């Protein structure tokens, strides 16, 4: 398993679990569940934030927040 923060722009993954309960609560309330498919579509120039598409939802996460999400990388 890898952390979401380890992925690069264009990579696709399946969200497996959340390590931070507070962040998990926020994401689940937005409809982001384990086994959701996610794609990194942009990161800012210093990799401070990641911009992610999950279904039709587009969200931004700080790198430290993304490091608390465990994912399985998919082959594109």
Question: The CATH number of the domain where 17 resides is what?
Answer: 2.30.30.90
Domain that holds residue 67: 2-74
Model confidence over 47-76: pLDDT tens digits? 789 999 998 999 999 999 999 999 999 985
pTM: 0.91
The average pLDDT across 13-31 equals 96
Q: How many domains does the chain have?
A: 1
pLDDT tops 90 at residue 10: yes
Residues 6+ apart with CB under 8 A from 17: 34, 69, 70
**16 vs 48: CA distance, rounded Å:** 23
């Amino acid at each position: 398993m890898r952390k979401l923060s380890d992925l690069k722009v264009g990579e696709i993954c399946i969200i497996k679990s959340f390590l931070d309960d507070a962040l998990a609560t926020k994401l689940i309330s937005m409809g982001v569940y384990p086994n959701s498919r996610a794609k990194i579509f942009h990161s800012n120039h210093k990799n401070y934030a990641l911009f992610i598409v999950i279904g039709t939802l587009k969200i931004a996460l700080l790198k430290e927040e993304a490091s608390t999400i465990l994912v399985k990388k998919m082959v594109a």
